[in-house]
Amino acid sequence: MVTREEIESCNKEQMDQHQRRYDQTVSGMADPYELIRKIISFQVAIPSWALGTGGTRFGRFRGRGGEPGTLGQKIEDVGLLHALNQSSGAISLHIPWDTPTDAKSIIELAAKQGIVFDAVNSNTFQDQPGQVLSYKFGSLQHTDRRVRRQAIDHNIEVIRVGQALGSKSLTVWLSDGSCFPGQLNFRKAWQHTFEGLKEIYSTLPKDWKMFIEYKAFEPNFYSMTVGDWGQSYLYASKLGSQAYTLVDLGHHFPGENIEQIVSLLLMEKKLGGFHFNDSKYGDDDLTVGSINPYQLFLIFNELVEGMDHQAMDHHKDMAWMIDASHNVKDPLEDLLQSVEAIMIAYAQALIVDRKALESAQNNNDVGLAQEILQAAFRTDVRPLVAEARRRTGAALHPLGTFRKLKIREKLIQVRGSDVVATGL
Ligand code: RM4
Ligand code: MN
Ligand code: MN
């Protein structure tokens, strides 16, 4: 669908302008090559459910078409993104939305595109056709032990699916909770959930991690059984060293200090995974960096600081994923924008003058500390990120190249305009 030559020829047209901007950006930087090296190795997984047009509880509008109708086509889509940016070399599957029927051929297809399998995600927040018992009143928290059993078995099955693909982690996001006061005994709900997680955890292969994702509200609106980082941390720390908290940016109340949460979880070695998106009022899974890029930068600032403090590998020691839903934009364009926003915030965090910041903090020089952070945030690092892409054979401008090469039009030609991808 897109070749290296096509990308290169688009790059060629933009090369003069790029070179000028790049020279200017790196002129004052001590070691731009080290920055470029880090940017190149940073990879963000794409969730299998984000490749189609999403909807809201008020319905779903048609997308432009050409959406992936099969898991194979979803992998092709991630391959397209990866060809354009060389930064999204992984896919995260949601089971049962994207259960592979033939693991071997799926692995081969992914390998051809340079794609690996990131965390597998279980789904006990919906009833599936033919499912025996309903999750209407929760899954692992349920008052009926048979429903709990069904949810535990599903998670164990998801681990098995992931093992066949080479995944190394399971993400458990539970929608369990209650909609009205009095509906739930909080303590029993917590204990049931913990018992279930414990059983799932006990089947985890030794080289796997388990991520407990929290969410402040929705679909339950009065209480969530894994509602905040404190609850997630409690489960994860009681479970053991293979269990971690997963932070999804959209799962907080407006105004929450997510960067502080990140910092403390890293301190406790309990931050395992990350779901990127943006939101203004609640979890609306908007394009990363579209509403509050400064917050994204502040979060990355803590991530880099905390990971460096523990000598963690920025890429390998954390599961990075986009978790978004696209109601009005082309999903592939939206994902390209999200990855770009992540790489920009990451690069900005890398150029924070850490020594100067530490000394400003020690001297309680509040004004200077702010200046230092904002100096990094206000640096236009886009040419640096573009250069990292160029060096790996990707596009200087992924979105522009996607449009120029008419990739969506080609997908519509091949797949038609009526296919609807599984997912949200
Ligand atoms: C949830 C949560 C999970 C995601 C589902 C689709 O809000 O963010 O990570 O798998 O949505
Ligand atoms: Mn999520
Ligand atoms: Mn979410």
Quick check: CB of 275 below 6 Å from ligand 1?
yes
Distance separating alpha carbons of residues 178 and 187, to the nearest angstrom: 13
**What pLDDT does 104 receive?**
95
Torsion 218-221-224-229 (CA) sign: positive
Strands 120-121 and 90-92 turn out to be unpaired
Reported confidence tier of residue 306, pLDDT bands at 50, 70, 90: very high
The DSSP-derived string for 151-196 is HHHHHHHHHHHHHHHT--EEEEE---EESSTTS--HHHHHHHHHHH
Q: What does the pLDDT look like over 352-375, one tens digit per residue?
A: 999 999 999 999 999 999 999 999
Quote the ligand 1 centre to 220 CA distance (angstroms).
Answer: 13
**What pLDDT does 421 receive?**
80
First to last CA, the chain: 26
Enter the tokens of residue 380.
Answer: 């236009």
Reported confidence tier of residue 247, pLDDT bands at 50, 70, 90: very high
Distance separating alpha carbons of residues 133 and 143, to the nearest angstrom: 12
Quick check: CB of 323 below 6 Å from ligand 1?
yes
The DSSP-derived string for 134-150 is --TT-STT-SSHHHHHH
**What pLDDT does 302 receive?**
98
Burial class of residue 134 (count of CB atoms within 10 Å of its CB; 0-12, 13-18, 19+): middle
Q: What does the pLDDT look like over 95-108, one tens digit per residue?
A: 999 999 999 999 99
**What pLDDT does 1 receive?**
86
Quote the ligand 1 centre to 173 CA distance (angstroms).
Answer: 6
Quote the ligand 3 centre to 122 CA distance (angstroms).
Answer: 13
E runs forming strands in 214-329: 223-224, 243-248, 271-276, 319-322
Distance separating alpha carbons of residues 176 and 153, to the nearest angstrom: 17
Which ligand has the nearest atom to the CA of 250? 3
Quick check: CB of 285 below 6 Å from ligand 1?
no
Distance separating alpha carbons of residues 89 and 45, to the nearest angstrom: 7
Shortest-distance Cα residue to atom 3 of ligand 1:
173
Quick check: CB of 121 below 6 Å from ligand 1?
yes
**What pLDDT does 282 receive?**
83
**What pLDDT does 420 receive?**
81
**What pLDDT does 135 receive?**
98
Atom of ligand 1 at shortest distance to CA of 47?
10
Rg value, the chain, Cα: 22
Residue 294, pLDDT above cutoff 90: yes
**What pLDDT does 74 receive?**
97
Which ligand has the nearest atom to the CA of 286? 3
Quote the ligand 2 centre to 47 CA distance (angstroms).
Answer: 10
Which ligand has the nearest atom to the CA of 174? 1
